[in-house]
Amino acid sequence: MKAHIIKIISNQYTISLVDGMIAEAFCTGKMRLKDQLFVGDYVEVGEFEGRYGIIDIYPRKNVLKRPFLANVDQAFILMSYDDPKFSYELVNRLIIMIEVAKVKPLVVCTKADLATSEDLKAIGEYYESMNYPFFFTTNKSFNKELYARLKGKISVFCGQSGVGKSSLLNVIDPKLNLRTNITSKALGRGKHTTRHVELFNLGEGLVADTPGFSSLDLSGIKEEDLEASISAFDPYRTCFYRDCKHLNEPDCGIKKAVAENHIKASFYATYKEMLKMIQSGNIHAYAHRRLK
């Protein structure tokens, strides 16, 4: 029978069966010889002396790294307005990495009570002008439009530690009672409060709260995949060269869109930085760069 992995701790797998029943399962010897299992995987299970054993895995449509999570529909990128301070650069990097993984990104500004309406409008216009949906929330209330986006989807809430991922999920559903913690004043980053990946039923969909991101991994990404994945570029792909990388090539539609402010210059700069790192082969240095 088919099941969905919703939590993994050590060698213990929590699965959701087709009838909605939640059960524990183990990985059979046959399965251990196959691909590593992740939360979000759809698997085939059998019964062995009253226990469920995972015997096969269904094809994945995508995998997010850091941490690993499979078959994701959309990713809410959370960045607090302050404490830690909102970083366009970090959000832009995460948008690009998430799109490379074939997941739809959405941007959420948390702790919006610390911002003015003009501040929030500026952030919203920045991302919505490139067709990235934008929402803002506080630790005491949530956005109804954001909540409506959860229905029928597998979603992940991601971003730095301390931006309020667990707090927001607790506001949406207090029964989750996820651990939260304050931001470290010395480091300007929050302490990690989420220790493992787990899918929760929320808003008629499934949502994952993930440990905070501290670095980005570019390993295994080809430069053509990076360029082709960015949806903000799609309306402006009128380049003279079919393999244009939008760096120094003439008659580039993307560079023209940047000059006309259809694509934000700082977003384009993040793309160029990531592309040059891949081209130079210096991905190790970038993978261990702290996200500040």
How confident is the model over 81-139, as pLDDT tens digits? 998 899 999 999 999 999 999 999 999 999 999 999 999 999 999 999 999 999 999 87
Q: Which residue has the tokens 């469920």?
A: 52
Residue 74: both structure tokens together: 């959309």
How confident is the model over 240-253, as pLDDT tens digits? 999 999 999 999 99
Q: Average pLDDT of the chain?
A: 86
- The alpha-helical segments, DSSP class H, found in the chain are 29-32, 88-100, 117-128, 144-148, 165-172, 223-229, 253-259, 265-280, 283-287
Single-letter code of the amino acid located at 90: L
Classify domain 70-209 at the CATH class level: alpha beta
Q: Residue 222, exposed/middle/buried by CB under 10 A (0-12, 13-18, 19+)?
A: exposed
Q: What share of the chain has pLDDT > 70, as a percent?
A: 85
Strongest mean pLDDT among 138-147, 158-167, 244-253: 244-253
Contact between residue 162 and residue 84 where contact means Cβ atoms under 8 Å apart: yes
Tell me: pLDDT of 221 over 90: no
Q: Among the listed ranges 3-17, 94-108, 149-163, 184-198, which one has the minimum average pLDDT value? A: 184-198
- Identify the residue with better confidence: 189 or 167: 167
Tell me: pLDDT of 188 over 70: no
Tell me: pLDDT of 155 over 90: yes
- Identify the residue with better confidence: 179 or 60: 60
Domain at 223-287, CATH homologous superfamily:
Probable gtpase engc; domain 3 (1.10.40.50)
Tell me: pLDDT of 220 over 50: yes
How confident is the model over 21-48, as pLDDT tens digits? 999 999 998 888 788 999 999 999 999 9
Model pLDDT, residue 209: 67
Average pLDDT (235-263) is 96
Model pLDDT, residue 180: 56
Average pLDDT (273-278) is 91
Contact between residue 163 and residue 79 where contact means Cβ atoms under 8 Å apart: yes
CATH, range 2-57: 2.40.50.140
* 95 vs 169: CA distance, rounded Å: 21
Model pLDDT, residue 210: 65
Residue 177: both structure tokens together: 């009672």
How confident is the model over 106-122, as pLDDT tens digits? 999 999 999 999 999 99
Q: How confident is residue 222, by pLDDT bands cut at 50, 70 and 90?
A: confident
Tell me: pLDDT of 288 over 60: no
What's the pTM value of the predicted model, to 2 decimals? Answer: 0.84
CA atoms within 13 A on the CB side of 17: 13
Going from N- to C-terminal start, the domains of the chain cover 2-57, 70-209, 223-287
Q: Which residue has the tokens 């109804």?
A: 144
Residue 201: both structure tokens together: 């039923």
